[in-house]
Structure 1
Amino acid sequence: MRDESFQNINRNYDNLTRKQKEILDALLSNPEEVCYASLSELGRRMGVSEVTILRMCKRLGFTSFVELKQAFRTHTERLVKNSMETSYFSLDLPAAERKDKDAVMQQILDGARAQSTAFFDTLSRQKILKTSRLILQAGTVLICGQGVSAIMADYFYRRLSPLIPGAVPVRVEDIDSVQASLVKLRPGDHVIAISFPRYYAAMRSIVRFAEYRGANVTAITDSPDSPVVTPNSINYLCNTATRVFYNSYSLPIELVNLIASGVVLEMGEDYDRLVSSAHEVIHFINESNSSSNT
C-alpha cells in the first residue's frame, strides 16, 4: 500500500463524529500505537468499543482495521527512514579552529576525560546489580535500538546471549518484527530501550506497551527528556556528544559491559556451570575435528 493511503485520513477527517475525531487525534499524536496494537488492545487503551474503531475506519475510507493499520505502518516506516537520514557529524568544530590540530586534539581529550569521569561518578553499583538481576529473572529480554542506537543494541545482545537464553535483538525500523516481539511479552519480562539522538518517537510507544504488559524497562539514553525515559523505567544517562561526531559509543558500551558483568555476578554458580559446559562443547568439537583428520 502506498503512503498516499495515509492521506485518506486527512481528506476524510471531517466525516468523523466528535468521538471518532478524538480517537483519531490520539492516534495521530502517537502513530506507532496503531502499528503494534490489535483491535481489542487499541479499544481497551482508548476506552472505546471495537465497533467504534471499525466505524471510524469505514468513515476514513478503509475497508477494515487491518487496512488502517497498514496505512499507519507505511507512514511510520517513512518517519523512521527520515529520522535515520541525518548527519553523523557535529557542527562544533569550525574550520578556523581545526588549523591548530594539537590544541583541538587536547580539547577533545580533555572533554572525553571529563565526560567519562562525570558518567562513572553518577553510576550506582546497586542500580547496576538490580538491573542485572531483573534481566536474569526475565523469561524474555528484548533489546531495542534504532539507527545509531541499533549498533549498541547489537553489542548488548552479543554480551547477553551467551549468558541467558531469552535475549532477543529488535530492530525498531522493522515494524513487523517489533510487533511479533511485543505481543509475546509477559509480566516480569524485560525491555532494554536504547535511544540516542536523533530520537525516534516510536521508542516511547514500545516502552509504554512494555510497561502496559507488566514488563520491566531499562532505558539507556542521553537525556531525561528522551522518549524512552518514564517514571517507572530504570534510566541510565550517557553523554554521547563530542566535538567531531554526533554520537560517541564509548560510554554506552562501558555501561553494557558493566550490566553484563552484573549478570555474571548474579548468576553465581550457574555461571561456573555455563563455563564448564562451554568448555565441554569446545573439547568435543576439537576431538571431533581431530578424529575426522586422522
Structure 2
Amino acid sequence: MPDDSFQKINKNYHNLTRKQKEILDILLSNPEDVCYISLKDLSQRSSVSEVTILRMCKRLGFENFIELKKAFRSHTERLVKNFMETSYFSLDLPVVERGNKEVVIQQIINNARTQSTEFYDTVPTEHILKTARLILQAKTVLICGQGVSSVVSEYFYRRISPLIANAILVHPEDLDNVQSNLVKLHPGDHVIAISFPRYYDAMRNIVQYAEYRGASVTSITDNPESPVVTQNSINYLCDTATRVFYNSYSLPIELVNLIASGIVLEMGESYDKLVSDAHEVIHFINESSSEKSS
C-alpha cells in the first residue's frame, strides 16, 4: 500500500452516500480503532450490513475492508511516529527563571521531596500485593508503555523477567506487535499499561481490548483521566511533573521496585529455589570456564 493511500479517503469522501459518510466518520473520529476492529464489529457498531461497508470501501478506491484498514494503519503509524518524536521536548522556562539557577534548582529539589513524600504516604500496599499476585497467576504478562513512558515499561520488564518466564514487552507504536500479542490474551492474563504525558490515546484501546479478552489490567500513570485508567483496572498515580521536563520517572521506577518486591514476597519459597538455581548456573559456568582455561 503506497504511503499516500490514506489520501484516497479524503479525495473520494464526496462520492459516498449519506450512510456511507456516517460509517467513515465513525472511523475517522477514532482512527486507531480501525486497526483493531473487524468488519463484523463495524457492521454492528454502525448498524449497517457488511455489504454496505464493502461498497463504501469500493467507492473510496479500496478493493476490500482489509485494504482500507491497511491505509488507516499506515496513517496511524505516521501519527504515532510524529507523536513519539515530539514526546521528549522539555518545557520552556521563563527567561527570568533561567537567570536564577540556584533558586530554580532548590525549587525542583523541594518539589521532588514533596512528591516523594506524598507518594509513599498514599501508595496502597494492598494494591502492590494484589498486582504481584495477578502477575504470578497470569500465563502471559504484557507490559506496554508509549513514547518516553517506555523507559518505565522497559525497566519493569527487566526487573520482573528474572522472576517470571512469561513477561512480554510491547511497544504500542508497533501496531503489528500489539495486535499479535493482544489476540493471544486469555482470561487470567495480565496487562501492565504505563502512560504519562504526552498521552497516546491508542493506549485506551489496548486496555479496553485486554479487558474485553478477560485479562486484568494494572495502570501506572499520573492522572485519573489518563487513557489507561478504567473502573476495573488497578490504578497507580505517580506525580511526575517537574519545572523543566514533562516527566520525572523516579517515582514510577520506585513503584516498579515495590511491585517487584511484592512478587518476591508472594513467591515465598519458590523465590529461594529460583535464587538457588541461579547460583547453580553461575557456578556451572564459572567451573566450565576454569576447566577450559587450565
TM-score, length-scaled by structure 2: 0.93
Q: Deviations over 1:75-125 (max 9, x none)?
A: 10111012123252122x323223333222211111100111112222110
- Partners in 1 of 2:117 and 2:162 — Cα distance? 30
Equivalent runs, 1:219-230 vs 2, <5 Å: 219-230=219-230
Aligned pair 1:246/2:252, yes or no? Answer: no
Aligned twin of 2:266: 266
Secondary structure of 1:12 counterpart: helix
Q: Deviations over 1:196-245 (max 9, x none)?
A: 11111111111111111111111111111111111121111111111122
Equivalent runs, 1:281-292 vs 2, <5 Å: 281-292=281-292
Contact 1:129–1:263 (Cα < 8 Å) also in 2: yes
Residue identity matched to 1:198: R
Secondary structure of 2:245 counterpart: coil
Equivalent runs, 1:103-142 vs 2, <5 Å: 103-142=103-142
Contact 1:219–1:234 (Cα < 8 Å) also in 2: yes
Alpha-carbon RMSD: 1.9
Aligned pair 1:235/2:235, yes or no? Answer: yes
- Partners in 2 of 1:56 and 1:269 — Cα distance? 60
Aligned twin of 2:280: 280
Contact 1:144–1:171 (Cα < 8 Å) also in 2: yes
Aligned twin of 1:90: 91
Residues paired across the two proteins, number: 293
- Partners in 1 of 2:226 and 2:45 — Cα distance? 23
Contact 1:145–1:171 (Cα < 8 Å) also in 2: yes
- Partners in 2 of 1:38 and 1:164 — Cα distance? 33
**Closer/same/farther in 2, CA of residues 150 and 243 from structure 1, 3 Å limit:** same
Q: Deviations over 1:171-208 (max 9, x none)?
A: 11111111111111111111111111111111111111
**Closer/same/farther in 2, CA of residues 122 and 42 from structure 1, 3 Å limit:** farther
Aligned twin of 1:58: 58
Residue identity matched to 1:158: R
Unmatched 5+ residue regions in structure 2?
none
- Partners in 2 of 1:121 and 1:49 — Cα distance? 54
Unmatched 5+ residue regions in structure 1?
none
Q: Deviations over 1:17-55 (max 9, x none)?
A: 444333322222221222134445555666655444333
Contact 1:88–1:247 (Cα < 8 Å) also in 2: no
Aligned pair 1:218/2:238, yes or no? Answer: no
Residue 12 of structure 1 deviates from its aligned partner by: 2.6
Aligned twin of 1:188: 188
Equivalent runs, 1:173-184 vs 2, <5 Å: 173-184=173-184
Aligned pair 1:255/2:249, yes or no? Answer: no
- Partners in 2 of 1:272 and 1:212 — Cα distance? 36
- Partners in 1 of 2:73 and 2:172 — Cα distance? 12
